[in-house]
Amino acid sequence: MTGVSTFRELQSEATEWRRYLHENPELDYRLENTANFVAEKLASFGINHIETGIADTGIVALIHGEGGEGPTIGLRADMDALPILEASGKAWSSKNQGIMHACGHDGHTAMLLGAAKYLASHRDFRGAVALIFQPAEEVELPSGALRMVQEGIMDRFGISQVYGMHIQPGIDIGKFGICPGAIMGSQDDFDIIIKGKGGHAAHPHHTVDPVTIAAHVILGLQAVVSRKTDPLDSLVISVTKLKAAQAYNIIPDHVEIAGTVRTLGASLQAFAEREIPMVAKGIASAFGAEIEFKYLRSVPATYNYAEQTKLAVAAAQSLVGPAAVDDAVKVSMGAEDFSYMLEARPGAFILVGNGPTAECHNPAFDFDDQALPYGMGYWVKLVETILGR
């Protein structure tokens, strides 16, 4: 049986990969260097079924077990970085100015590569493992997971279950968190344009001031959550953009408001899509203005299947013991586009501890290389749990 010590042997090599990826971050679908690096490594492990160029720079590689017939399970890592100027101060900081791995996807990629190296030389399992290296997790629609699903990877590679993992600051190194049902929120975005009547700032009574109306609308939207939503339900409405004129003495003719909606399920998405324009329109019309409204359904909630969650818990427990696996972890309202793969196939998404580091998407964030053996070990344990003979 394999334990964490097995994966410590791979740690120094995986650390080199991880730091190379961290120094050379790339954005969205433009992951040419990253994808080449991954494909070369996979080939060097003796994996010969590698398909590149899926959703531009995505990769799926198959490792066939030598233990007989069985299903194919998908293991997914995302590879893209963020448009953030790095401030981690690390020796391996980004060489690409204004781009950094601030969400740990460098670590995710290195962990799946480490598991690939191990599995390619330990094929004593049934069926096959599909290694899914995905671009563009961090982008607006269509994101990388959706495009890989649309390009048919589940059918083409015969994937019957699919699993994902994300590093989590605040969970100790060597610990895991997971729960059945929703584990990450949905993400929808909205735009509101308040159309008033501009004029001189000294004569507000000759205008329909969209700035004042915007202030009322923003507060009104907060009341949708506090006064119109069941307190036991989870809904976040955040206004994140506000754009008006640029002068001291002009009341503009319109103001643009934009924001994001996070929920844990489709019924609350529909509720928000209905309520936000109703409140904005009602308030605007009370002051004599009109609105334009757009609602963009983006990423659905990440929903863990009960049976596959049990398998993921069993795999993590066999690596680190039951006490180090929280199987009722608190749900995050952050969104994760792995949800599209879980819409296509049953599976589960697990959080792996990154220790007390800065939050993801913070310029000071860095993946902790001490987490590498646990991520690599979890993938291998999952294969042994589901496809073991």
Question: Which residues in this chain contact Zn ion in the complex, by CB under 5 A?
Answer: 103
Question: Residue 237 CA to chain centroid, in angstroms?
Answer: 19
Angle made by CA atoms 361, 33, 94, in degrees to the nearest 5: 40
CB of 336 to Zn ion, least distance (A): 7
Residue nearest to Zn ion (CB): 103
CB of 117 to Zn ion, least distance (A): 23
- 109 or 229: CB nearest Zn ion: 109
d(CA 341, CA 164): 9
Closest CB to Zn ion among 103 and 129?
A: 103
Q: Residue 102 CB, nearest distance to Zn ion (Å)?
A: 7
Please identify, using beta-carbon distances, which residue of 80 and 275 lies nearer to Zn ion.
Answer: 80
Taking the complex as a whole, the smallest distance from the CB of residue 338 to Zn ion amounts, in Å, to: 9
Question: What residues does 81 pair with on adjacent strands?
Answer: 27
Shortest CB 163 distance to Zn ion, Å: 15
- Residue 182 CB, shortest distance to Zn ion, in Å, is 17
> Closer CB to Zn ion, residue 179 or residue 335?
335
**H/E stretch holding 272:** helix 266-286
Nearest Cα to 107, choosing from 358, 362, 353?
353
What is the smallest separation between the CB atom of 185 and Zn ion, expressed in angstroms? 13
Residue number, 107 or 377, with CB nearest to Zn ion: 107
CB of 105 or CB of 381, closer to Zn ion: 105
Closest alpha carbon to 239 in 262, 270, 208, 265:
262
Q: Can you tell me which residue has the tokens 């433009």?
A: 30
Nearer to Zn ion among residue 119 and residue 165 (C-beta):
165
